[in-house]
Structure 1
Amino acid sequence: MNQNGKLVLMDRAKGRFGLLVEESGYLLAEQLDAQPMAVGGTLSGSMDTVGIETLTDTATGMEYSVFILAYGLSREAVEEELS
């Protein structure tokens, strides 16, 4: 099932980021490609499974290959992983 998530946290050095997913908390993922991502953007895709997924920027249509590390997290857990 596709969901939308807002890119709210990012560690460009590690290539990891956090999304605030509608009604299910935060998601922690690692970007697998080198496409630039913008904090504040909204991404759409399957966000309720661990593994490789393609997320699409809802404004530009740009696709990103990511590895979802965890979902259903608190903001504090994502901040800790990115620090």
Structure 2
Amino acid sequence: MTTPGLKGQNGGPLFDTDGFIYGMQFLTNHLYLGFDIDNKEIINNGKKTKVSNHPLLDVGHCISVERIKEFLNQYNVKFYEEE
């Protein structure tokens, strides 16, 4: 599973539409998009200025809650589930 991800969000929960934990983000990739802008002159608030932009797509990778439960069961870690 993937989600929009930002640096520092690893270990955070992924929720389903009902608010239940569906997975956990474990990795963030920063994918280079190649839409670079270097020193482009624009008008901002009536003033000319130059801008540069090197955009990335931040993609968080998630582990399914089923895999997390398998791990917890393997090591006899107690957890609760709502039925």
TM-score by structure 2 length?
0.27
> Would you tell me which structure has more strand in proportion to its own residues?
1
Bigger Rg, structure 1 or 2: 2
TM-score by structure 1 length?
0.27
